[in-house]
Amino acid sequence: MPTRTSSDSLRASQLDVADALLALLRDTGTEDRPDDQLTALTLAVAADLPVLLWGEPGIGKTAALTQLADTLDLPLTTVIASVHEPSDFSGLPVIGDDPARQGVPMAPPDWAVRLVRAGRGLLFLDELSTAPPAVQAALLRLVLERRIGALQLPPGVRIVAAANPRASAADGWELSPPLANRFVHLRWTHDHDVVVRGLGGTWPRAALPRLDADALPQAVDRARRAVTGLLAARPALVHRLPSDETRRGGAWPSPRSWEMALCLIAFATAAKASRDVLALLVRGTVGDGPGLELLAALDRMDLPDPELLLAEPECAELPQRGDLRQAALDAVVDAVRKRPEKARWDAAWSLLVRAVETGAPDLLVVPATTLATLRREDWAVPAAMERLAGVVAVSRGADRAGTRAAALTARASR
């Protein structure tokens, strides 16, 4: 019987030390840190919608999914789509005792059986853009119906995929339109601060969003009104298959993707997610153009009622974003134009004072000028109007100075 030499023991002890060093390198922590793309991912996972992460190789897509599975305490099952045959997703035919009477069942692969036994999990379909068209076709039923052969995945299984753009994928293919339209597409990019802090041992924590149970009915109503209102006014957006092959492999509008957008708006509203997160989700379902139109429709829905602003101008809460504040002030002036009364005209001037106290004065030039033209001869000039006259004059002067400076710069560059 061979005996273990001292050199063998030394090599074994060095490997133990190497393993200890590797364990220290893997010992990282997490922290609560704002991360829009991670929040968008967790919201889509919470909404039980298939997500497709697009990003260059080495950007951290797989690491993000691993950390998400650990945080949510879900067993992670990784399937490399490009190294499988179509039958691995559609099922392998298994001939039984009497196929003429019982048929030929389609047996699922072992990883699908393990997911069903666990009852929950995170199914990660990696390298999706390197899967050939036949495999992509076999994935259609898995992604949409959660079926593999004769097996139905349980509701506790979430599906996330990852892909590299065709230019950076190994033997990459464009995603087929039917498969692409089943996903929420999220562009995965690296954040310098996140990478530096993560390499130092602390990564952002991926946590499921906190949904406000009391706000669920309002969230659903807001989502439905936004989507149906836009599509009623823009029927051409209901279904628009891009003519470009590359764009067909991304997000584009269809009844299916509009339904996903509606679901994500409701989840984002109930979770009080930021507009940046909502923009990632909406544009990732119906595409950039239709997504921006839907975001604009949501912004208009969120504008305060001008009559409520006129009722209590001194304590009115105006939007912080400049474009929304401008729209709110314009709506107030329009309301006064439609029903011109001295009390309402005075209230509008008080509201403009409130606006200049809480925001940029340049936004008041147009509404103040328009409001001044609505004055009747028997209406006394309110103190608020005189107070704002200087602010408006300064803003106009700054605008004229800026225009002159731009003109001088343009002439000098010729």
Q: DSSP labels for 246-299?
A: HHHTS----HHHHHHHHHHHHHHHHTT--HHHHHHHHHHHH-HHHHHHHHHHHH
pLDDT at residue 186 greater than cutoff 70: yes
Using CA atoms, how far residue 28 sits from 21, 23, 113, 196, 205, in Å, is 13, 10, 32, 13, 11
Tokens (6 digits) for 403: 């225009």
Measured distance CA(373)–CA(171) in Å, rounded = 66
When pLDDT is averaged across residues 247-266 and rounded to a whole number, the result is: 95
pLDDT at residue 407 greater than cutoff 60: no
Range of lowest pLDDT (39-43, 131-135, 142-146, 188-192): 188-192
pLDDT for the residue 97: 65
pLDDT at residue 402 greater than cutoff 60: no
When pLDDT is averaged across residues 333-355 and rounded to a whole number, the result is: 90
Q: Give the chain's mean pLDDT.
A: 84
pLDDT for the residue 259: 97
Confidence of residue 395 (pLDDT cuts 50, 70, 90): very low
Range of lowest pLDDT (23-32, 101-110, 324-333): 101-110
pLDDT at residue 408 greater than cutoff 50: no
pLDDT at residue 10 greater than cutoff 80: no
pLDDT for the residue 104: 67
Stronger pLDDT, 396 or 316, i.e. the higher one: 316
pLDDT for the residue 98: 65
pLDDT for the residue 102: 64
How many residues make up the chain in this entry? 414
Confidence of residue 187 (pLDDT cuts 50, 70, 90): very high
For 174, which DSSP code?
A: P
Print burial letters for 145-169: b (CB count within 10 Å at least 16), e (below 16): ebbbbebebeeebbbbbbbbebeeb
Please determine, looking at this structure, whether the domain spanning 31-93+106-204 carries the CATH number 3.40.50.720.
no
pTM score: 0.78
* Percentage, residues of the chain above pLDDT 70: 86
Q: Mind listing the pLDDT tens digit for each residue in 295-342?
A: 999 988 888 888 988 888 888 888 888 888 888 899 999 999 999 999
Inter-axis angle of helices 288-301 and 216-233, nearest 10: 120
pLDDT for the residue 183: 96
pLDDT at residue 401 greater than cutoff 70: no
Question: What are the backbone dihedrals phi and psi of residue 378, each rounded to the nearest 5 degrees, phi first?
Answer: -90, 5
Tokens (6 digits) for 366: 């147009």
Confidence of residue 412 (pLDDT cuts 50, 70, 90): very low
pLDDT for the residue 295: 94
- Taking alpha carbons only, the member of 74, 79, 184 closest to residue 131 is 79
